[in-house]
Structure 1
């Protein structure tokens, strides 16, 4: 590690001056006492002593401070702080203080980040456990009931096997979504960009989810009649999945006899924005920053009466960001929510 003395001479100058004044006064007094006072000799003595004292003090103090400061750097190096360890050693106290304070701030931020990640990890593992446990216990319960004698009843046997199958389907759905989001997070998105009509994709999603919406008497609709196609450049399959997840979400948390409305608007720089708006229960403001986390629940009771893997919004966020686009959410608790995302528009 290179030595980089950023010298401050104030201490050495003062110390050398005190020594010179004392020594000169003592020498002049002795010469006066013995009646051999010579001012030319005293002048040479003063200059020589001051210069000698200054350099000796400066050198010794620098070496003294350097050895102790070097130990601080070495101790810090044990903490694997590469940004601090690679710096040259300075004996300037102001510079050293700034570097140590910066190191302490960086370490504090790092520790706080690790705490947040650890909390997120615990919460994520708890959520995964809950999501998998529910369908597993459901399947196990029906199978045990069948083994305990219900198998002999043809009606019960068929009903319980059908319910067990639904539990297995949910497990498969969760595992598939986990596999997908893992690939998305490592950048394995494999987007297949094509030019397509986004209006047609939205209509396809409406057709697919019409029966699901009818169960709650929710109307799926456009904000207006789109006569001309709106062409975009993206991965059609992935964008359909995004719209499907958002519409499913709006149905799941929408109110009876409500609406889910989709609008497509032009933005600047050859962009469009797709808005999915509902008049459902809405989301409290404190939950919005964490909505796109895996398995994050607004309802902390842990109930999932509507099913689903809990990964829908997280998948949506990764797909949109994989297209280098933005996703937004606005919501008023008790009034409804609006999710929107941008896409590149084609002529």
Structure 2
């Protein structure tokens, strides 16, 4: 019952009940007993008012006590409780609003704990992944200084190794910087309308050269119509493809690595498939591969490298293009990454 309704009922009770009692008493009792009537009237008014006050007090006091207890628990840092309310009046609504506030505070606190955990993990990842190439660079430089590289062939090999390790560090730093910009929506996208067939043909041509140099077999199929177009940021979408391929190369464990790239027309969408014959992903890890900082190799084998955010960047870019991404995998057989992008369709203008 609403508080206003309670007040109206109480007011009417206090006013009407004594009046009715007085009227009936005046008719029944003799006029000479007016003083007794006045006393009884005062008693009735007092009792009626007392009952009314207790009724209103309970309606207000019980929810206030519940909120006081809840506020005390929140003050002490405890958000694992529930503020139960049965009342349907204004105080009940206030308690429900308070409970909603508690739930939001709890969600924010849990997000902060998860974010702090991810931040610590990121620092650990960065420390590990930067230390590995730095240690290698330091070792090779010391070898050059100590005269270990005493032939032109050794010197050339040492310098190339130093260069490659420096590139690893540069890629890691660039990846972290990019993710920071994407995560805070500070990356400027330059969208343009492109031919889907031509764009992915160019991507495939670059990948073929890169993978051939690494001894990896590359197979490409494009089943798109020539007039199919997409609105994308060409640079960022190329990053999506490269990150997926680099992730495949990182976990390639077969003597002859293989990567298949297939472009399909699926109605209003374009579907890109990138399949490898690597070690595959365990079913328990598959739902988490696009989570930031998630890495399936818990031991953090230094040969794998990376920050654990490559696929998180991929997911973010694809979603900001209005698309979707997912993966399938067979442990020991290989993994296939899929992402879809909506086709560009011109809206006909009525003449």
Per-residue deviation, 1:127: 0.7
Query: Of 136, 139, 151, which aligns to 2:137?
Result: 139
Does the alignment pair 1:49 with 2:46? Answer: yes
3-state DSSP of counterpart to 1:296 = coil
Aligned 1:63-142 pairs, distance under 5 A: 98=96, 101-142=99-140
Aligned 1:1-347 pairs, distance under 5 A: 6=3, 44-45=41-42, 47-57=44-54, 98=96, 101-150=99-148, 154-210=152-208, 212-214=210-212, 218-223=216-221, 228=226, 230-254=228-252, 255-257=254-256, 259-268=258-267, 270-305=268-303, 307=305, 310-346=308-344
**Residues in 1 aligned to 2:109 and 2:228: alpha-carbon distance in whole angstroms:** 48
Aligned residue pairs total: 315
Match of 1:85 in 2: none
Q: Are the aligned partners of 1:209 and 1:248 in contact in 2 as well (CA < 8 Å)?
A: no
**Residues in 1 aligned to 2:232 and 2:123: alpha-carbon distance in whole angstroms:** 33
3-state DSSP of counterpart to 2:290 = coil
Per-residue deviation, 1:259: 3.6
Q: Which has the larger displacement, 151-160 or 242-251?
A: 151-160
**Residues in 2 aligned to 1:232 and 1:91: alpha-carbon distance in whole angstroms:** 55
Q: Are the aligned partners of 1:242 and 1:319 in contact in 2 as well (CA < 8 Å)?
A: yes
Q: Are the aligned partners of 1:325 and 1:341 in contact in 2 as well (CA < 8 Å)?
A: yes
Per-residue deviation, 1:342: 1.8
Per-residue deviation, 1:104: 4.3
Q: Which has the larger displacement, 218-227 or 282-291?
A: 218-227
Question: Kindly tell me: are residues 98 and 302 of structure 1, through their superposed partners in 2, closer, same or farther at Cα, counting changes over 3 Å?
Answer: same
**Residues in 1 aligned to 2:307 and 2:67: alpha-carbon distance in whole angstroms:** 55
**TM-score (norm: length of structure 1):** 0.72
Q: Are the aligned partners of 2:122 and 2:307 in contact in 1 as well (CA < 8 Å)?
A: no
3-state DSSP of counterpart to 2:264 = strand
3-state DSSP of counterpart to 1:191 = coil
Match of 1:84 in 2: none
Question: Kindly tell me: are residues 206 and 91 of structure 1, through their superposed partners in 2, closer, same or farther at Cα, counting changes over 3 Å?
Answer: closer
Question: Kindly tell me: are residues 97 and 224 of structure 1, through their superposed partners in 2, closer, same or farther at Cα, counting changes over 3 Å?
Answer: closer
Question: Kindly tell me: are residues 314 and 240 of structure 1, through their superposed partners in 2, closer, same or farther at Cα, counting changes over 3 Å?
Answer: same
Per-residue deviation, 1:237: 2.3
3-state DSSP of counterpart to 1:285 = coil
Q: Compute the RMSD of aligned alpha carbons.
A: 4.3
**Residues in 2 aligned to 1:193 and 1:64: alpha-carbon distance in whole angstroms:** 60
**Residues in 1 aligned to 2:50 and 2:224: alpha-carbon distance in whole angstroms:** 91
Question: Kindly tell me: are residues 61 and 181 of structure 1, through their superposed partners in 2, closer, same or farther at Cα, counting changes over 3 Å?
Answer: closer
Q: Are the aligned partners of 2:194 and 2:231 in contact in 1 as well (CA < 8 Å)?
A: yes
Q: Which runs of 5+ in 1 are unaligned?
A: 17-35, 82-89
Q: Which has the larger displacement, 120-129 or 40-49?
A: 40-49
**TM-score (norm: length of structure 2):** 0.71
Q: Which has the larger displacement, 91-100 or 302-311?
A: 91-100
Q: Are the aligned partners of 2:204 and 2:220 in contact in 1 as well (CA < 8 Å)?
A: no
